[in-house]
Structure 1
């Protein structure tokens, strides 16, 4: 037990809450706030006296508790090292800020570390059980109280508790030691976007204690969890009770102090509490009831709250399956919210800061937010409940470039189940998202079914961005088909029994001098020169989203993103939350227009003209010149010019266009196609080599990207007919030095992309809207991000372009004619 020898030592203990040995009383280590890469408006508000002092568990409250946040002793550790029982550690850290953060006072990564402090219990807690709570520690945690190991926990995102009563002594000061190991991206655990070092779309890691640590006195029989499941006129209350003896539950609901319902029954069983004159929860009216739950005979009593609402699927007047809230379609429009901070990384500097992002999202006219592969403190969801924001909750992913082994899969599923159990009572959460873009995904259909079995009351988005990146092929499971397209928004056609959403699009960027995390590395999916242009482009994307909702049956859109994050500069705010990068009034108007307009009558698509009949098309390039720099259009009057040194070679028949994959192509000099209607493009192609790079055979330039790509997709090692973010892919890889006949068909009437290879239908993809373009039709390259890309390395022969969708018979005839 600590006995101060000098006044300085006593003062140090009062300020830090730590036992300081008398021998070091003259100059004990002190916590110091270090300089973050950028400072937020709340950085300087953080001090040892107010390190997140707010009650951390708003859905299960008790009057008595003790916050253990503040200055702790700290040191790095070695694997297998003995716990520093009774030893003063050499550094000071401010809990609960991650060790890598400036606010922690350490600001470096540690794979293994020790935390130590002492605490004292109030006298009126005597005779009760003492619970020690950790809201989140990343990743593998061992807890010792007075030298006794009381807990071992793995998992970086869930809260857990341990009864430490039997480890307490009669001494005034109780010693608490926490050992943490965090392998970060060298381990196989769920870690979201944490990488060491952070780069690109991945960010600085957060290790160690990063949410509140606290103590609570409870009765031997107590409520450990409340599971609250709302309906339109009632809420089902399941009090999960631990401790001895059978207990009865008394639950009473209040509307601003007035009793509106009650129910009694056995603990650990669902009890239906009916509410008088139910007042539903929605983004427009986020009404919450108060709840008191008491155990008899234990006497344990807790406070909570709930909102009455339902989530589901159903058809609207246009026959499209949509996401429903309280039985009605509500277009869900919101931002991608990463939850990173330049001063606290994973941990918002204050509760006001934590709430700030949500308040701004609401002020911008959003009614939804996607919490992107991170789990926030419970108070974040409480604020979302109060403000009225629908939440899509992602499961933090495993590493994106590995096939998870069996042990990692078990860990992932265990942590996801705990994440869902901890958050199942927040009314704001309307959807669970197990996987994102193939990052650590496996058995997607089984996992979607598993999540649905854990919580059948919410929608399951089996894989956000199933059209993108490393995703497994669409399993068809879950409640949602989720398209990612940058800049987008994507145009998935709602079909079948699942709702369709644009789970990510946008990413429009603007650099703000003095407010960049890494000025040299700043990037975005489409960079704008100034705020006015950024605001205008955002409005254009939202107009497009409204059209997608009206014509394609899309139920939601998620714009990237709330704030800049490290090197990404595509936020509404700079990373430090100091600068608004758009005209927020204009953004709000655009967002509300989408929400309101999408709920009206469906908008019919444009009539699709029959197009030019015949097998020749509106332009044809047989490339039989075998000399010169012009290829004749033998059907129309748009001869193609050879660019960049493109030349001639032996063709499928006669000669062909030869290009070397580096700046060479043929330009028809005109926009041959109305790419918002139906059209087709056909060619014979031979690749000199195939690999991880893209190679485009025929495309038409749009303002930033090609409106379509008839191509070889290096990401998939397949032939494809593509829009940005969407590909109709052949099932097998092409071989080099072999001629293939490829035809891409855009059928605007059916909302499909089709790819034919050697006369046979190879793939069909649902894509509702075409991409507008007025740029030239080109042969041998594409356009992306405003730049020419994906140059073909090989030969092209017998190119045909059509202002209609070719039929199976048309393609077969064209293939036969060119054999």
Structure 2
């Protein structure tokens, strides 16, 4: 059971040990941010006698430095008030220089013993700003602090220590008394240390941390013990967010939960409080200094604060109300905090084209975002300064974005504060574990940290969506993914849940069908999944164009999905790629697009900015113009797309190749030519054509199908081999790739109806020497490819982007990819039909039955 003085979940109190008090110098305050108090001045600390040549903190040298690197020092290590949504005036920042030492498994805390190194908290030890700049699996931190006499701790008041985040397992001692343990690298914990304090003078604080990163199943995001110079980065261990303390009354407010309700014109509010029964609260909302609404009621209960005629929050008008909450006991005020909130609602709405889309405040609004990793060359997981933290978000606004995907990382509270203030919609990922399935013993921990992330961030106005999984990393079961999405939605019904970003990619176990979003990744993209009746669709990642910038690269080199020679080319490629987002939104109905990425990160060179934030790599005016164009045009108001013509009726088709000893077209004038000397053998009905898998095929000499509209291709196929090679039954050449492939996909070892990069797959591996009836359908109205095997539906895939008009010949027995002939069929083919319309399921069943 959690002890009463531990205020956040998963921090556990343990037994006491004897102590000595010692310490080092503490961090000083700095100018406050708008709406939050300045930190109290740090007291002069009394240390135990130390050697004459005590070690000093020295800043390390990062491979590249940001504009803020040289501004960081012992007196200003993130001095801002760290919790903008629950503000008290009395507090003291404990950031600054601490003692540090490597620790061993089972080593006793260094109570009363000076440690041999100095570290700058809260920068992770691997970072240059920490002054350590190396990796350790286990470590001790140590410092002293003095409680200001004016706080009157112990006289009806308690002292709380707050840890913004410690990666990954933490233990805390005050004056030798172990007061807490905590597991989780991305969530904070608070500890009531009152009973461990001595009567006066300096108090000793020791923190132990263990971080094994990717050697375990813990959530790590993109951290790795050693950077791979690719898509994973240097890990961040130990204390990496602000440490601070404040006095509170015996009865005090522990947290606020606020949710706007536009339909009711009020704010749902719950004031969580500790310290007795019968506590009441008074909450007052103000807009532009004027009272907008108030409510009085019980603490720890759901209340409604009326906000009539609310001014709504949006990216173009990020209006926020101030909120003052007072806790009363017996009618007397015992605690007061300041907060804020925005009135906004995220949901879905059908556009004029009938497709379901994301809506903000009841109006369709396209979410144009970047992928934001949140890494820094000087501070790694921790931005060097608050101004640096704000910089990335400010650049989003300057470049015309209205949203940001916080990619498998959770940021300090002040990041979300700036997103709220600046007006950015945030898609918040859960940090992933390793890319393989999370080991069974760690699955409960992953889910626990996921729900804690949601709980801690439930009141940020900017967050509009939760993303539990990315590209299948850590995913262990598709049903479990669906269950987790449902549980997150139950925990927070007010936001979208994107169960699985990149469900089409990588280690994905496939679409669970749960959540509010269908999310595909495609590089270079954009991705173009179609929305469903109850789920919107988004491009969760695309882009990735890169540029090398001398003297601004972490490794002195790097890569991207496509490297460009100069800034002008990079800008042009970006604009062209983003224009395709408009087409994807109009044709497919995607509601969001997320470009990779805001900055370079280590070996990834695909940012708008270099990793050091010193150089903008594109013409940002052009970037802004095309982004604003997307938001304006990609809202579903274009109306329904033109309907395809009805096509030729009947089951014969516009071309039919019986292949009974000839390649003549029995339905029209598209006679084919045999290439490579294939032989006619016993077929499924009469004769069929035997192909050798390397040089033989049939060429119709012209395009039979209009690929800009609907079409269907059908054939009987018997394979002579089933392995990792692709084999194409019917296709039509495009400028570089086939317009479509009715094929055996060697990568999946299943039949497929495909576009390049998109496959509607059959359910099982086919058998050698057995006849199969394959039918592939392109349905432009529903925006999908469909595959039927032996007359039954076998697979479907979203494919809603318009196809260009046909340019190449229809061929039987091979495909075209990268401008080259590929994927020759090794087997026998018979009864090939081509249709200028999308056949229905009933017609396909009838066609199959007619050939049995």
TM-score by length of 1: 0.89
What SS does structure 1 have at the residue aligned with 2:233? coil
1:387 aligns with 2:422: yes
Counterpart Cα distance in 2 of 1:700 and 1:18: 79
Out of 358, 369, 380, the position equivalent to 2:404 is 369
Which of 580, 583, 598 lines up with 2:616 in the alignment? 580
Contact 1:753 1:767 in 2 (8 A): yes
Are 1:213 and 2:243 an aligned pair? yes
After the TM superposition, which of the residue ranges 506-515 and 132-141 deviates more from structure 2? 506-515
Secondary structure at 2:234 match in 1? coil
The offset of 1:316, in angstroms, is: 3.2
Residues 426-441 of structure 1 mapped to structure 2, 5 A cutoff: 426-441=460-475
Q: Could you give the per-residue CA deviations for residues 618-664 of structure 1, whole angstroms, max 9, x where no partner exists?
A: 59696989xxxxx999963775866xxx998989656533336xx99
Alignment of 1:590-629 (within 5 A): 590-599=626-635, 601-610=637-646, 615=652, 617=654
Judged with a 3 Å threshold, the aligned counterparts in structure 2 of structure 1 residues 669 and 115 are, in CA distance, closer, same or farther, namely farther
CA deviation map 1:479-526 (0-9, x unaligned): 2222222222222222212222222222233333333334554131x3
Alignment partner of 1:734: what SS? coil
Looking at structure 2, the residues matched to 793 and 107 of structure 1 have their Cα atoms a distance apart, in angstroms, of 57
Counterpart position of 1:628: none
Change (3 A) 1:312 1:83: same
Q: Distance in 2 between matches of 1:496 and 1:426?
A: 29
Match of 1:189 among 200, 204, 218: 218
CA distance in 2, matches of 1:169, 1:90: 25
Structure 1 CA distance, aligned partners of 2:463 and 2:697? 50
> Against the structure 1 CA distance between its residues 701 and 404, is the aligned structure 2 distance closer, same or farther, given a 3 Å change threshold?
farther
After TM superposition, give the deviation of residue 224 of structure 1 in Å: 0.7
Q: Deviations over 1:675-709 (max 9, x none)?
A: 33223444536263425x76665556667766544
Contact 2:546 2:559 in 1 (8 A): no
Q: Does the 8 Å CA contact 2:548/2:558 hold for their aligned counterparts?
A: no
How much has 1:34 moved relative to structure 2? 2.0
**1:757 paired residue among 755, 769, 789:** 789
1:148 aligns with 2:177: yes
Shift of 1:780: 7.2
Q: Give 5+ residue unaligned stretches, structure 1.
A: 626-630
CA 1:599–1:129 in structure 2 vs 1: closer, same or farther (change >3 Å)? same
- Secondary structure of 1:299's aligned partner: strand
Q: Provide the residue aligned with 2:372 in structure 1.
A: 337
Deviation of the 1:468 alpha carbon:
2.7
Are the equivalent residues in 1 in contact too, given 2:776–2:785 (CA < 8 A)? Answer: yes
Q: Which residue is equivalent to 2:33?
A: none
Question: How high is the TM-score relative to the length of structure 2?
Answer: 0.85
Q: Root-mean-square deviation (CA), in Å?
A: 3.5
1:144-191 CA-to-partner distances (Å, cap 9, x unmatched) read 111111010001111110001111113522111111111211211222
Which stretch has the larger CA shift, 102-111 or 131-140? 102-111
CA gap of 1:340–1:725, structure 2 versus 1, over 3 A, is farther
Q: Is the 8 A contact 2:815 2:823 kept in 1?
A: yes
Are residues 98 and 170 of structure 1, via their aligned partners in 2, closer, same or farther at CA, if it must alter by over 3 Å?
A: same
2:446 counterpart residue number: 412
Q: 1:70 corresponds to which residue?
A: 96
In the alignment, the residues of structure 1 paired with residue 508 and residue 22 of structure 2 have an alpha-carbon distance, to the nearest angstrom, of 60
Within a 5 Å distance, the mapping from 1:161-560 to structure 2 comes to 161-170=190-199, 172-199=201-228, 200-232=230-262, 233-296=265-328, 297-405=332-440, 407-441=441-475, 442=477, 443-518=480-555, 521-524=558-561, 526-560=562-596
Alignment CA distance shift 1:348-1:806 (3 Å): same
Larger deviation, residues 412-421 vs 148-157: 412-421
User: Retained in 1: the 8 A contact 2:599–2:607?
Assistant: yes
Does the residue aligned with 1:300 lie in a helix, a strand or coil?
Answer: strand
Q: Does the C-alpha gap of structure 1 residues 509 and 612 become closer, same or farther in structure 2, counting only changes over 3 Å?
A: farther
Q: 1:86 to 1:607 in 2, by over 3 A?
A: same
Q: Is the Cα contact below 8 Å between 1:707 and 1:773 reproduced in 2? A: no
Gaps of 5+ in 2: 1-19, 29-40
Q: CA deviation at 1:111?
A: 1.7
Change in 2 beyond 3 A, CA 1:360/1:149:
same
Q: For 1:72 and 1:447, locate their aligned partners in 2 and report how far apart those are by CA, in whole Å.
A: 40
